Structure 1
């Protein structure tokens, strides 16, 4: 189903599922649109909504499973505003957001749906889920000039770290149960990445709540949503496996000629399985068994 705008979707018979979970996919370019949409459909989201420019194409087989909304600018503040607009329309529903060429994975996602995951997380009285944006990149940049290859993707097996997140409203004391996470290509090629864009943590899944909105650093205005664990024990975290940084570094004229390859001694093939991410410590099962 296609809609000329989000307002058109809201006034149509094909309304948003107010119970969710909803996946909002923001399509920035024409790279891996179909694989991104198929991946999130397979996870079991009740609805997958693709916000994308009118000229971009998706496979015809996906048209029945996707709510497509025309949106010319799908990055920056426009994207943040749209997430918040959707959240206002479906209070109480779980919302996930990402860009094209990004793939959500969570512990045991091969056998458990995202609905089961979020039902459990809800029972834990959690309303936000921390995710790490884990960089993927093609093994051969001569063949894959945009650094994107599903079949030959690599991942960094080490080089991730966390620092305390200081609270400017509390004399810069560290915020409780919050950390800034770094690593991957944004760390290895930090000279090409603005300082305020180097974090790899996102609250990419949250429960739409009146009065709570997404900020431009991918955190929520209610600080409890931004914590990695509750006060009693660790909670589930997820991973958003993403070609987005690699793609940007190789298509940006200011960095592409400085990067002949993303491979280094800690590169390993990406297995497209949650077990690998768990073993590398890139997500946490918490009490989720």
Structure 2
């Protein structure tokens, strides 16, 4: 393809708009990493006799020469078209395209599908609106071995090109749900045996304390812990936090006078992560079994929500894996 004004080029470029993505059920994956993971998933689906993921692949000859694996995977789809740099620039959402992009069908799943698989770790984005933060959380969930990511109503579209790029291919690894109602979500999670924790900088429960308790339980003999303990053993040990659900510096109040329920970090858990500016709302916080603060040891005012999510997800993942090894 050599004409950047062709109708096909304009059709692909329109997928940068949410309305076009929703209407057509398609989205763009740009760059070698994202396209590689899309093509790998496409190949697995084809082997299983499932509908293919990748509808079209556009790449420059130079990119295909540089990445032989991409060349082979793309040609196997039967949907590869070589294109000039001008054509790719007209299609892509980025200022500096990386020589390849794919048009993919949307692949989100229902909450019922997620719960039917018995999830142990779920990340929930509550009105997270920045594409970069959303992509970072999804990538962290993938890295921590989470079973699913849920985007509640009011969150950024995971098919936003910036979100797709910031996942670095993890969008094609982790099942994700779109448009969930937080209250219904919490109810269904609990019905499936999954507890709910809120990442809240003002929370009365300290994440370090939860990890210490989890480690101590591994050394005791007894039945496995499967949910909230609710025994009030932690006390008010958390550091304070900011309004965006992220940990805040020492010396700030953190729910003084509140009971601080303990929680089994090794239990099946869904973490709630709030909006960048407003954090979790009172209604969202009320859905949680415990409000957990990530402690800060330096002078930073707070943690970015993507960083806080990474810390929380890895804390759960580590406790769960230790429990599996000793169970």
Quick check: TM above 0.5? no
Please state which structure has a larger fraction of its residues in helix.
2
TM-score of the aligned structures, taking structure 1 as reference length: 0.38
Asked which structure has the greater RCO (Cα within 8 Å, sep 6+), the reply is 1
